Copies of this chain bind each other. A is one copy, B any other.
Amino acid sequence: MTGEILCVGTELLLGDIMNTNAAFLARELAALGISVYHQTVVGDNGGRLREAVSLALSRSDLLVMTGGLGPTYDDITKETAAQALGKKLVWNQQAYDRMEAYFLRTGRVMSENNRKQALMPEGAVVFQNENGTAPGAALETDGKIIVLLPGPPSEMEPMFCDQVRHYLEGKTGQTFFSRTVHLFGIGESAAEEQLRDLMESSSNPTIAPYAKTGEVLLRVTAAAPDREQALRLLAPAVEKIQKRLGPYIYGIDVGTLQHAAVLALKQRGLTVSTAESCTGGGVAKRITEVPGASEVLRAGICTYTNEMKAELLGVKEETLKTCGAVSAQTALEMARGARVRTGADIGVSVTGVAGPQQSEGKPVGLVFVAVSSPWHESEMELHLARGSGGERERVRHLAENHALYAVQQTARKIPQR
């Protein structure tokens, strides 16, 4: 099956937002074995949208569209798609009821133009929107399929995962199962070099690397009629990867670094407290992204000034004076202070120069991360900058990664209670 992706939105044409939808859908369609040769972006313009839809249908079996499903007069994606496949729009009471319930639940007032969102192409499969107002839909005429999805990623992604993926599997007649191996401390090309022969020789399962900021995921995907057979195909490939890249693997199907850290703490009945300077609360924020983090997080203390580092965390004035706020010794005393003052099992700290300016004469990207537990204390020096400008959030994110990884590794060293 060939497919293409058409994203509708003036804000994409103006570069106001990044087209994360295209990347997400490209990955998902590839994982479903659908060959995508074109991605297109157009604005909310009737003529150009019609042209783009008709061009796509002339060369592909499946067209996945995002955006332009809203209630306003310039939202015309649904109308254009319906017309292209010769469908009328008809009232969908279920979609309307869902929307009404959504407005009730959120205490917002439904406006007259929201009614437009309950009109659906005749005979369409409707995908309910659990996270917003616009429902999605799939339309089919003469073997050509259009899938309509809302534009906001927070609505589109769960709708795809919970409903659309299953719908498309029914169309392709194949089911795909994946396992994800999470790597930390190795780059994408280095990982790829270690696995090139496996990646090239293996077609079922396939092995594909994905780089995230500061980490690498390996997606191992098998096509099979059912789950059990897929798992049988996946196991030997995952084992081979473990054999080659073991020391870099922090988890399998584990979600994110923060999920892995929280899991390691939970399994051992441990708690953590954070002490942050340059990351400004980012480590605590990421830990608390994990539902149930309250079981493992005692407190997060963000101290941006020397005074607060001394007062709230007990970092010695002497240390701040002689080593500076950005130093291994300060990091260690911060981690220790966070642990002892909050009664946690593990303290983790980050102090560094996120930029854009250097600080204490120390360069942007210099970051110290420390962990402290009754069993183990350590600190590390990191150099996280690589370019000039626009680096602040990247440095902070990488520093958070190292802190979360350190928490997981520290927790793993402590025997289960």
List chain A positions with a Cβ less than 8 A from chain B. 10-20, 22-28, 30, 36-43, 45, 48, 52, 55, 70-72, 102, 105-108, 111, 113-114, 129-132, 152, 154, 158, 187-190, 192-193, 208, 210-211, 213, 219, 274, 276, 278-285, 287-289, 291, 293-294, 297-305, 308, 311-312, 342, 354-357, 383, 385-394, 396
Contact = CB atoms under 8 A, between A and B. Distances in A.
A394 B131 contact: yes
A302 B289 contact: no
Contacts of A342: 308, 311-312
A281 to B, nearest CB: 3
A333 to B, nearest CB: 16
A37 B12 CA distance: 10
A40 B37 contact: no
A6 to B, nearest CB: 10
B41 A39 contact: yes
Contacts of A192: 72
Nearest to A187: B108
A304 B299 contact: yes
B37 A45 contact: yes
B291 A392 contact: yes
Nearest to A217: B16
A395 to B, nearest CB: 11
A165 B382 CA distance: 35
Contact of A189 (B111, B211, B280, B308): B111
Contact of A15 (B22, B289, B312, B357): B22
A3 to B, nearest CB: 10
A300 to B, nearest CB: 3
A131 B40 contact: no
A1 B375 CA distance: 66
A15 B25 contact: yes
23 contacts: A10-B208, A13-B26, A15-B30, A16-B27, A16-B211, A17-B210, A19-B39, A37-B42, A38-B41, A72-B189, A72-B192, A108-B187, A108-B386, A131-B391, A154-B213, A154-B390, A280-B285, A280-B287, A285-B285, A293-B304, A298-B304, A299-B308, A301-B302
A11 B210 CA distance: 7
